[in-house]
Amino acid sequence: MTEEYKIEFAEWAESDLDDIVTYIAENGEVSRAVKIYYKLKQKISSLNIMAERGRVVPELKRIGVKEYREIIYSPYRIIYMIKETTVHIIAIFDGRREIADIIFQRITGFH
Domain ranges of the chain: 6-108
Residues 6+ apart with CB under 8 A from 79: 13, 57, 68, 69, 70, 89, 90, 91, 92, 93
- For the entire predicted model, the pTM comes to 0.88
For residue 98, the model assigns a pLDDT of 78
**Cα separation of 94 and 107, whole Å?**
18
How far apart (Å, rounded) are the C-alpha atoms in residues 42 and 21?
A: 15
Between 64 and 97, where is the model more confident?
Answer: 64
pLDDT, position 77: 95
Alpha helices in 1-111 (DSSP H): 11-26, 30-45, 58-61, 99-108
The CATH class of the 6-108 domain is alpha beta
pLDDT tens-digit series, residues 51-82:
999 999 998 888 888 999 999 999 999 999 99
